[in-house]
Chain A
Amino acid sequence: MTQVESLQKYYQKTVLICKGTGCVSSKSDEISEEFEEQLKNFNLQEKIKVDFTGCHGFCAQGPIVIIEPEGVMYAQVKSPNVKQIVESHLKNDVLVEDLFFMDPKLNKRIGNYKNIDFYSKQTRMILGNCGHINPEEIDAYMNTGGYSGLRSALEKKPEEIIQIITDSGLRGRGGAGFSTGLKWQFCHDAPGSEKYIICNADEGDPGAFMDRSLLEADPHSVLEGMIIGAYAIGASHGIIYCRAEYPLAIKRFSRALVTAKERGFLGDNILNSSLSLDISVHEGAGAFVCGEETALMASIEGHRGNPRTRPPFPATSGLWGKPTNINNVKTWASASWIFKNGWEKFHGIGVENATGTAIFSLTGKVKNLGLIEVPMGTPLREIVYEIGGGILDDREFKAVQTGGPSGGCLPPSHLDSPVDYETMAASGSIMGSGGMIVLDETNCMVKLAHYFLTFTQAESCGKCIPCRIGTRAMLLILERIITGKGEDKDLMLLEELAYTVKMGSLCALGQTAPNPVLTTLKYFRNEYQSHIFEKRCLAKDCQDLINYVIDESLCNGCTICARNCPVSAITGEKGQVHFIDTAVCVTCGICHSSCPKTAIFKQDRPQKVVP
């Protein structure tokens, strides 16, 4: 019996309002109050319940309101729309079609979320509860079968549990994809009576928010996984390391800890078993490098978040020198899923070396943006064109960048490659923890590499020389390339530096930092070459290599561009064709995006001829 079903015993309908971070920032709290208010106005408060959920992964469409049991989804609901929904839908049973989600691919409005491609093409397992249950009520979770997996696990021997995890084929979702079963085994086998488990919720990749979303929407699924893991490993202390910028995730997980303890899922002799476990929350200061396991543990111990070399591995000498098992948020949630649904089922999803699902944060130039969950091995094309709905404005697809700042860019020829650890690695990218950025013909790949390197070089902990200085040197070279000052030798230097940083760096941050550069060099070398040798940006994306020009045949002299230009580079009488003085223009692009006639276009900047 799901929570919704149980509620229907008393209520005819439920209004589920998303209160994930995204929707809260688009004011879903107000919507919720407005619903309570309007239901009273129409005297429906006895028949219809207002409840809330965590993130649906579709935050760009937020605030999202779902009406159960019919499963109607209203997108981008504003406060004034509430009255309309209550009166029309809830009172008179007339759906408010204007507030349905507008499918950008089909160009029509769709009411039932089950019919939206963005959802229907996904396989939502780990995210299954997200958006459907109240994350602050333990009963809501238990009504979906929650903690039944823990019960059955505690009846088994730790060795059997590890065997089940191994058989499921689960691999770490934090980036490296190490076998979770093996990892638990190592820590289980490590000598020592005091052991730790850690949930890594640092999530420092720019643009990634799957861990936050999961913790906000279904914290118990993570917690249950941790309890099962602690039992298998023999740990009596658990820590979740969550970045302080995630207050809602921390709040919901902390609440889950309290309620789980009330029900006897934490504390001494859990469910009368030999397991005693306490779990605490550690707020991290939000450095990307603190997601690296050794830096993370240093940070918990109160030191500066510097990675160290392994061995010793955390499994033998981790937190406070004790055997420690550290897993990602999604890995822990997968473990509880496996115990609830059976390892065979998990193993049956995905492909040979990558079972289960992958969760991505899909962004960039696709029509549907958000968190998605697909079986491992799903081809990129399906993700981009079906779930993502294709490229914005139906432009040409250029590349997909996966794995965040440590990942790489894959060209159109890889669109049919399956998304799994080995295939990604072979093409120079990584699964990473799940960033996926889609790029189109208007994106310059050199600029993209520059963007990611700007991030990594700033986030380097600064400990080891190749990473600290090497990434900065690479960035300077990229900077001169995108500004048209590239030199003949730069490609060679970049490659050499990329190799040095990759082989020379101490931790995976440095070792993977060159990936965006290496893969763009591999698949989009011509773009580098045109920047260096012709001083041209093929995507017309690099500010210093283009000019903005007004098309005389399109300009109607509305003066909008001239009024918006920050440096007054545009001249022209009202009603007359306007003109951009390229000597004054700083190529900010404001006029380009503000011209109602799209009369302003980009042109390669003619190069000064050096005698």
Chain B
Amino acid sequence: MTKWMNINGRRVVFEEGETVLEVATKAGIFIPTLCARPDLPSFGACRLCIIDVEGNRTYPNSCTLPAREGMVVRTATPDLQTVRRNVFQLILAEHPSYCIICKEHDECEKVRHGEYKAGRVIGCFTCSNKEICEIREISEYLRVKDIRYPMLYKNLPLERDDPFLVRDYNLCILCARCIRACQDVLGYSAIALTKRGHDTKVGTILEVSHLESGCVFCGHCIDVCPTGALIARGSTWFGTPDKSVTTTCNLCSHGCQMVIDVKWDKVVNVHPPYELSARREYCVKGRFCIPALVNGRDRLKYPTVKRKVIKEEQYPVPWDEAITHTADKLKGYKPEEIGIILSPSLTDEAVYLLLKFAQRVSTNPVVFIEEDIKNLQSQGVKAIFSTFNSNVFSEFDGLEFLILQDIYQSNSSDTAEVVLPTTMFAEEDGTKSGEEYMKYAINKAVEPPGEALPSWIIVSRLAQSMGLDGFNHESIENLQDEIRNAEPLEIPKVSKQQLEYMGVPIADKVEEFRLYITSKRAINQSKGKGVLDVQI
């Protein structure tokens, strides 16, 4: 039987179990909220969603109130709006809210696009949350233009005792979304409400650092926070991004969708898409390490070939020269002497092309993981084209010719004869097969450093230079068309554990990540847990 209630004089249907807020939202009736969020259990703290229910003495929260048959509700009476406005002013009285009530607000917004560097957030113009701030939205709805109450700025110290988060609880409105996300959605309980009265705050139990509190740095708390209280460390001071690109994380094959914020052609922040359906739990690598990884100073930028002038050294060369050198030399090896090594972080297109290339030049199986590289040695392999760096190369007996296509400098990039700089996933277009055969789009967000090229282009040029046909794709679309019609190629299998570990060697380039791993290990050891118990 259909159930009906009455909101603002309108009869609306509802289903058993829905809250009044949900019913109103479905019916297109706006009720301001700050603590409620559809993907979190309701809590009822901000009291902006209060409503007038016929027959009630007090104003209940619509976010926690179950709809009842025949219920008569008003959502925006003058008295409700007055109470809301006053409640909102109380929030502003604690908050660095000068920009919101500033008389020059509108003019200022036009001129000041970006944030200004300041030690801490002293107003929206220094706040990284500005573009998506829910406080600002509510202030526009309620048209609060001044604060008549005593100012109550708490002047709490900034919390930056771990590598990834910066927490300025002076901005916190205690909506407890972060706590609910951490505790109720993910089950970590790294944070909780502590203290009482006006001193109430979000914190870890016993005020230990997040590294010790059980926090796994998934960043979910940041993503649900309606204010700028929680921020990813590196993302603070770049202001409004020039663009934001939705893409797929390629540090493992979970296929996490993410938005890459770009400013001055640099990756400045990575966060989940705002659509709730695209949400999932991120790992620390994907949530916090990508900007540092992409912008890393040790990125390989130019192709090099080892030459002996005075002593044997890497020399930067034009791409054509690097390719020709490689092609000419590779042609001198027999198919059983050539090994091809596949990196897990390649796009599907690059994988396809490499496999196709391997079928033509090598009789050995294409390998994926370090243990298998050792097997190539016993097969008598003398020349290797590898798309990632491995320590195995230095112990590989009989290796005469190492071609390394990589993103970062490493020992192997010093020993390899040819080094070919390639792009990371933020710098190229393509497709990625994730778990359960889902296909995700990888979209280019920034230009690659120096002359680095997408892997598929490198392979295609090399193959063409070796005189192989079937590699003259003009564009990635061209290649994708071919893949769509081709027989599916057998991709080596990896275990789930390996899969999760995949991004670690890459993320290891990031100092914060190393710090995280080291301290987690130390903490685990001090608690008598195994060193390998570190959750990544």
* Contact surface of A with B, Cβ cutoff 8 Å: 287, 289, 304, 306, 308-309, 311-312, 457-466, 468-473, 476-477, 489, 493, 496-497, 499-500, 503-506, 511
Q: Is there contact, CB below 8 Å, between A500 and B86?
A: yes
C-alpha spacing A289/B47, complex, angstroms? 18
With a CB–CB cut-off of 8 A, which chain B residues contact A503?
Answer: 50, 58-59, 79, 83
C-alpha spacing A474/B44, complex, angstroms? 23
Q: Is there contact, CB below 8 Å, between B196 and A469?
A: no
With a CB–CB cut-off of 8 A, which chain A residues contact B150?
Answer: 473, 476-477
Q: Is there contact, CB below 8 Å, between B93 and A504?
A: no
Q: Is there contact, CB below 8 Å, between A465 and B46?
A: yes
Q: Is there contact, CB below 8 Å, between B193 and A469?
A: no
Not counting A309-B64, A465-B174, A504-B86, a sample of 16 additional A-B residue pairs whose C-beta atoms are within 8 angstroms of each other reads A309-B65, A311-B66, A458-B198, A461-B196, A461-B200, A462-B199, A464-B45, A464-B46, A465-B46, A469-B90, A469-B152, A471-B198, A472-B197, A473-B93, A500-B86, A503-B59
- Which of B28-65 touch A at CB < 8 Å? 43-47, 50, 58-61, 64-65
Determine the residue in chain A with the shortest Cβ distance to B95.
Answer: A469
Q: Is there contact, CB below 8 Å, between A465 and B196?
A: no
Determine the residue in chain A with the shortest Cβ distance to B94.
Answer: A469
Q: Is there contact, CB below 8 Å, between A497 and B46?
A: no
C-alpha spacing A465/B200, complex, angstroms? 11
- Which of B173-190 touch A at CB < 8 Å? 173-174, 176
With a CB–CB cut-off of 8 A, which chain A residues contact B91?
Answer: 465, 469
The 7 closest A-B pairs by CB, nearest first: A462-B200, A500-B86, A469-B90, A476-B150, A472-B198, A458-B197, A473-B149
With a CB–CB cut-off of 8 A, which chain B residues contact A472?
Answer: 152, 197-198
Query: For chain B, which range describes its interface: under 10, 10 to 19, 20 to 34, or 35 or more residues?
Result: 35 or more
Known contacts A473-B90, A500-B83, A500-B87; A464 and B198 CB within 8 A of each other:
no
Q: Is there contact, CB below 8 Å, between A504 and B87?
A: yes
Report 9 cross-chain contacts, Cβ distance below 8 Å, ordered by A residue.
A309-B65, A311-B66, A460-B197, A466-B90, A468-B197, A477-B150, A503-B83, A506-B45, A506-B61
Q: Is there contact, CB below 8 Å, between B198 and A504?
A: no
Contact of B45 among A304, A458, A463 (CB under 8 A): A463
C-alpha spacing A463/B84, complex, angstroms? 16
Q: Is there contact, CB below 8 Å, between A459 and B197?
A: yes
Q: Is there contact, CB below 8 Å, between B86 and A496?
A: yes
Q: Does B195 contact A (CB under 8 A)?
A: yes
- Shortest distance from the beta carbon of B445 to any chain A beta carbon, whole Å: 39
- Shortest distance from the beta carbon of A202 to any chain B beta carbon, whole Å: 15
- Shortest distance from the beta carbon of A424 to any chain B beta carbon, whole Å: 16
Determine the residue in chain A with the shortest Cβ distance to B50.
Answer: A504
C-alpha spacing A306/B65, complex, angstroms? 17
Q: Does B192 contact A (CB under 8 A)?
A: yes
With a CB–CB cut-off of 8 A, which chain B residues contact A493?
Answer: 148-149
Q: Is there contact, CB below 8 Å, between B197 and A504?
A: no
- Shortest distance from the beta carbon of B290 to any chain A beta carbon, whole Å: 35
Contact of A506 among B47, B173, B196, B200 (CB under 8 A): B47
Contact of B47 among A312, A458, A504 (CB under 8 A): A504
Which of B84, B198, B200 has its CB near the most chain A CB atoms (within 10 A)?
B198
Known contacts A463-B45, A468-B198; A473 and B83 CB within 8 A of each other:
no
With a CB–CB cut-off of 8 A, which chain B residues contact A464?
Answer: 44-47
With a CB–CB cut-off of 8 A, which chain B residues contact A287?
Answer: 196
- Which of B269-308 touch A at CB < 8 Å? none
Q: Is there contact, CB below 8 Å, between A465 and B90?
A: yes
Known contacts A309-B65, A473-B90; A506 and B193 CB within 8 A of each other:
no
Known contacts A308-B64, A309-B65, A506-B47; A462 and B174 CB within 8 A of each other:
yes
C-alpha spacing A322/B246, complex, angstroms? 46
C-alpha spacing A457/B197, complex, angstroms? 6
Known contacts A469-B90, A469-B93, A504-B59; A462 and B83 CB within 8 A of each other:
no
C-alpha spacing A121/B83, complex, angstroms? 46
C-alpha spacing A275/B87, complex, angstroms? 49
C-alpha spacing A505/B44, complex, angstroms? 10
With a CB–CB cut-off of 8 A, which chain B residues contact A476?
Answer: 150, 152
C-alpha spacing A468/B149, complex, angstroms? 14
Q: Mark B156-185, 1 if CB is under 8 A from A, else 0.
A: 000000000000000001101000000000
- Shortest distance from the beta carbon of B144 to any chain A beta carbon, whole Å: 13
Q: Is there contact, CB below 8 Å, between A465 and B45?
A: yes
- Shortest distance from the beta carbon of A467 to any chain B beta carbon, whole Å: 9
Q: Is there contact, CB below 8 Å, between A473 and B173?
A: no
With a CB–CB cut-off of 8 A, which chain B residues contact A496?
Answer: 86, 148
C-alpha spacing A312/B68, complex, angstroms? 12
With a CB–CB cut-off of 8 A, which chain A residues contact B90?
Answer: 465-466, 469-470, 473, 500
Q: Is there contact, CB below 8 Å, between B197 and A465?
A: no
C-alpha spacing A506/B50, complex, angstroms? 9
- Shortest distance from the beta carbon of A409 to any chain B beta carbon, whole Å: 22
Known contacts A309-B61, A468-B174, A469-B94; A462 and B197 CB within 8 A of each other:
yes
- Which of B77-112 touch A at CB < 8 Å? 79, 83-84, 86-87, 90-91, 93-94
Which of A309, A311, A464 has its CB near the most chain B CB atoms (within 10 A)?
A309
